[in-house]
Amino acid sequence: MSVVPAEVLPGSVLSVAEDVSDAAELGPRARLWPSLAAVYRAQLSRARVARIPLLFVATFQSVGIMILMRGVVDGGGEARAVVAGSSVLVVAYVGLNLLAQYFGQLRADGGLDHYATLPVPPAAVVLGAAGAYASFTVPGTVFTAVFGCVLYGLPLTNLWVLVLVIPLAGAALAGLGAALGLLAPRPELATLLGQLGMSAALLLGVLPADRLPTVVQYGRDLVPSTYGVEAFARTFGDHPDWAAVFGNLAVCAGVGVASLALATWAYRRAAVR
């Protein structure tokens, strides 16, 4: 009686294992942009039910601040600073504050384990979530800017610059918010850090710089949103300083790349724990 080797039998364990190994080797690796688009759509769909409350709270807060400041600020450079700061504050509320809370809760609930099992790059998870949350800020930011211009008698001519201010300031703030949420050891601390970051964006962005103490004015350089505020505020004059506008936007872009890279590193660090 002859013995047939197991590796030549059809359906044997060895042949099945080899087939699975070959299939795994032939499977395409997940690329960044398709993965980013998939995460972005998933996050956008998940947060869609909260869109109206988010927009209402963020926009109502900024509009209320402009109305309160109207009794103190008459016009000129201070009015431009208040309108620009209040508009960018909508981005800070969602991109920094809420994203810090989201990633802090995701880490505490073990949600990062779910993303870690998906064949997507870590950068796609961070960028997709940041982009989805930043998308909610567009209507509120535009409405706040238009309302502020009408309230303070500022021209509406150069509001197109918001097309650049929103994504660049949003990237910088969302990356910082994601990093705070991922690095915080507890979700409560992530919420606290997000609130403190938004408070810094409020105080250092909305209040006119020349009314702040000298030491605090230097602190404005450390807050990413102030560069978006400066870029937007400089477009309201009769002869805008476009070099300064695009210079501030370039700083926003650089800070955005750095903060998103930090958030990606923080995601890898939190996912392996």
Average pLDDT over residues 227-255: 93
**pLDDT value for 48:** 64
> What is the model's pLDDT at position 36?
84
pLDDT value for 156 = 93
Q: Over the range 80-91, which residues count as b (16 or more CB within 10 Å of their CB) and which as e?
A: bbbbbbbbbbbb
pLDDT confidence bin for 123, thresholds 50/70/90: confident
> Mean pLDDT lowest for which of 9-18, 57-66, 226-235?
9-18
Task: Note whether 120 and 30 are within 8 A (CB).
Answer: yes
Helices (H), the chain: 13-26, 32-46, 51-69, 76-91, 99-108, 111-117, 122-135, 137-152, 162-183, 187-206, 214-219, 225-233, 242-271
Residue extents of the structural domains in the chain? 31-271
Which DSSP category does 2 fall into? P
Neighbours of 272 (CB within 10 A): 8
C-alpha–C-alpha distance, residues 220 and 62, integer Å: 19
pLDDT, tens only, 87-105? 999 999 888 888 899 899 8
Q: How far apart are CA 260 and CA 243, in angstroms?
A: 26
